[in-house]
Chains A and B, each alone.
Chain A
């Protein structure tokens, strides 16, 4: 497919450079270049374009993005900037652009940006969902992995699992994979990356499911600064539509900051002696105190027996917070995870799987 392209660019020298680039490529046909929003909005329709490259470093153009999207709903709208600015890229994403690219670019980079953004899924900001647990062995990683698998399957949008449990991350074992890149490389390089350059850091698990693993030595966790890790998540949001972030147990800089950044934070505890409800309450008290706006912390209990509505109600009474989901014990699960077969190993008709599906449907519909 050849992209019939309109360039809207406030910097004339940059406009010239982009024009030269596009003319060299078979994939793009440059229809016209505009230097302000009004001319572009008023005149572009006569060319019937299917691609806009819009300079979002101009505040005016950034604000006018919704107008372009209204007028040209079928065209791909790519935001362009000369230095990566996560805030601007996020604003463009909220305005429903296809994607963002760093300029000047090569034609292949532009093409890859478009393809990546189309594969990513809906033109919406990514859902960032973190998995927090007061203490370890809560079923946190299992839940993150199973939800990611299910949502990737149901939505056909791209999903990434990011292992924030930097000392003892278990995700690669669950999927029986050996990733080449880790969170350490990603946080180290993030200032130099763009979505297209960042995508290969993720290991492809299947179709539209990907993973960024934690380092293989616990002490490398020291190399990861929390703010860089947040930058990694923000950049990943331009590559993937859903981000599932497994956090280390307890309160620590990573778990606090990442769960605060996430739009949805699942707090997971496994029922064992029953005292876990107290830890959950103490945890929820602190998390709720942050008063996050339009962001939520949801308690989830695993290994609930019997796994019934009545039992959930009892847990709610004891906890003092609504309980978002409960999961039964699944004896198969240990051997499934042991053999790296989490993709195929859990029977579809098990109650565990049914409850996972219920939760993922709520995430997809936006109820959670």
Chain B
């Protein structure tokens, strides 16, 4: 890690809930950390974020403490004092370490977090090579401020359910309308191989751009990872989804770019009609 290097900020965003933002944020952070980068994972799903619970962390300090400190003594503010360390080592001595900035413990405190404070905190994480930020699913003032700061917007979607497809399309169109550069927005399809009538290719045609990456479906591995509080690289090292996260991390570090996997066979029929109706 080079001194004075600017952090790459990757925000994990989506426009419909429950499609794997937190799992993606954790495993991307773990993947990057595993490659030797200094990584900070920030939970900005301020009301109901699950980063700490998924990692079985019990943070003693959170973003609320960081805000209080910033408001009281801005000059002495040291962001590192408000991070919680996550570290894991397996029996072979292999492991991973990264830092977490936890969400407020109480929902009431979530309401009190101010945007300039978040901007200040994210900017002061420059010690890290990568800052991975987990957002919630809405176009809020806070989320837009964070997307503005981000190097990369990892825009995540599960496209098995028509309302989710609609929200994915609306979300993408809105990001473009808000003038985020297309190069900055990386579309990532989650659960890409689950059995479903709508294919990733349908959605690519609808949105007019390709998926940057596709994560396969693997509930058992993800459940195991959450149950153990251990990122996939160590809880299920051989799973396809783990390899896919390693690939995604590699894409973001530009180490090696995998060939795009050939898209699934085209399906036509009933859904075409509905697509036309809502998006035509």
Task: Spell out A's residues near B (CB within 8 Å).
Answer: 134-138, 141, 167-168, 170, 172-174, 176, 178, 216-219, 221, 248-252, 270, 272-273, 275, 278-279, 282-283, 286, 334-335, 337-340
Q: Are A136 and B17 in contact (CB under 8 A)?
A: yes
Number of interface residues of B (CB under 8 A): 39
Q: Are B277 and A167 in contact (CB under 8 A)?
A: no
Q: Are A273 and B274 in contact (CB under 8 A)?
A: no
Task: Spell out B's residues near A (CB within 8 Å).
Answer: 15-19, 47-48, 50, 53, 106-108, 110-111, 136-139, 160-163, 166-167, 170-171, 174, 177-178, 197-198, 223, 226-227, 270-271, 274, 277-278
Q: Known contacts being A248-B138, A250-B47, A282-B107, is A168 close to B15, with CB within 8 Å?
A: yes
Q: Are A135 and B17 in contact (CB under 8 A)?
A: yes
Report how far A248 CA is from B15 CA in the complex, Å: 12
Q: Are B226 and A273 in contact (CB under 8 A)?
A: yes
Among the listed A134, A218, A282, which residue makes an inter-chain contact with B174, where contact means beta carbons less than 8 Å apart? Answer: A218
Q: Are A135 and B18 in contact (CB under 8 A)?
A: yes
Q: Are B137 and A219 in contact (CB under 8 A)?
A: no
Report how far A250 CA is from B139 CA in the complex, Å: 13
Q: Are A168 and B16 in contact (CB under 8 A)?
A: yes
Report how far A104 CA is from B74 CA in the complex, Å: 63
Report how far A134 CA is from B46 CA in the complex, Å: 12
Q: Are A286 and B107 in contact (CB under 8 A)?
A: yes
Q: Are A250 and B19 in contact (CB under 8 A)?
A: no
Which of A136, A249, A252, A339 has most chain B Cβ within 10 Å?
A: A136
Q: Are A249 and B17 in contact (CB under 8 A)?
A: yes
The 18 sampled A-B contact pairs (Cβ below 8 Å) are A137-B18, A141-B163, A167-B139, A168-B15, A168-B137, A168-B163, A168-B167, A168-B170, A172-B278, A176-B274, A217-B174, A252-B138, A275-B53, A334-B160, A334-B161, A339-B162, A339-B270, A340-B162
Q: Are B138 and A167 in contact (CB under 8 A)?
A: yes
Among the listed B111, B170, B223, B226, which residue makes an inter-chain contact with A218, where contact means beta carbons less than 8 Å apart? Answer: B170
7 further A-B pairs in the complex, CB-CB below 8 A; given A176-B274, A279-B48: A135-B48, A168-B163, A170-B163, A174-B163, A249-B138, A275-B50, A275-B226
- Across the interface, which residues of B come within 8 angstroms of A251, CB to CB? 47, 107, 110-111
Closest residue of chain A to B219, judged by CB? A272
- Across the interface, which residues of B come within 8 angstroms of A270, CB to CB? 18
Q: Known contacts being A137-B18, A168-B137, is A217 close to B170, with CB within 8 Å?
A: yes
Report how far A49 CA is from B37 CA in the complex, Å: 85
Which of B110, B163, B167, B170 has most chain A Cβ within 10 Å?
A: B163
Report how far A279 CA is from B17 CA in the complex, Å: 14
- Across the interface, which residues of A come within 8 angstroms of B274, CB to CB? 176, 338-340
- Across the interface, which residues of A come within 8 angstroms of B223, CB to CB? 273
Shortest Cβ gap from A220 to chain B (Å) = 11
Report how far A80 CA is from B84 CA in the complex, Å: 64
Closest residue of chain B to A285, judged by CB? B107
Q: Are B137 and A249 in contact (CB under 8 A)?
A: yes
- Across the interface, which residues of A come within 8 angstroms of B161, CB to CB? 334, 337-338
Shortest Cβ gap from B114 to chain A (Å) = 16
Shortest Cβ gap from A44 to chain B (Å) = 54
Report how far A275 CA is from B107 CA in the complex, Å: 16
Shortest Cβ gap from B3 to chain A (Å) = 39
Report how far A168 CA is from B162 CA in the complex, Å: 12
- Across the interface, which residues of A come within 8 angstroms of B278, CB to CB? 172-173
The 6 closest A-B pairs by CB, nearest first: A136-B17, A137-B18, A170-B163, A338-B162, A137-B17, A168-B167
Shortest Cβ gap from B237 to chain A (Å) = 21
Q: Are A219 and B162 in contact (CB under 8 A)?
A: no
- Across the interface, which residues of B come within 8 angstroms of A167, CB to CB? 15, 138-139
Closest residue of chain B to A134, judged by CB? B48
Shortest Cβ gap from A190 to chain B (Å) = 24
Report how far A135 CA is from B227 CA in the complex, Å: 20
Q: Are B162 and A173 in contact (CB under 8 A)?
A: yes
Report how far A144 CA is from B136 CA in the complex, Å: 23
Among the listed B15, B108, B160, which residue makes an inter-chain contact with A286, where contact means beta carbons less than 8 Å apart? Answer: B108
Among the listed B108, B198, B226, B277, which residue makes an inter-chain contact with A178, where contact means beta carbons less than 8 Å apart? Answer: B277
Report how far A335 CA is from B195 CA in the complex, Å: 12
Q: Known contacts being A168-B167, A286-B107, A338-B271, is A134 close to B162, with CB within 8 Å?
A: no
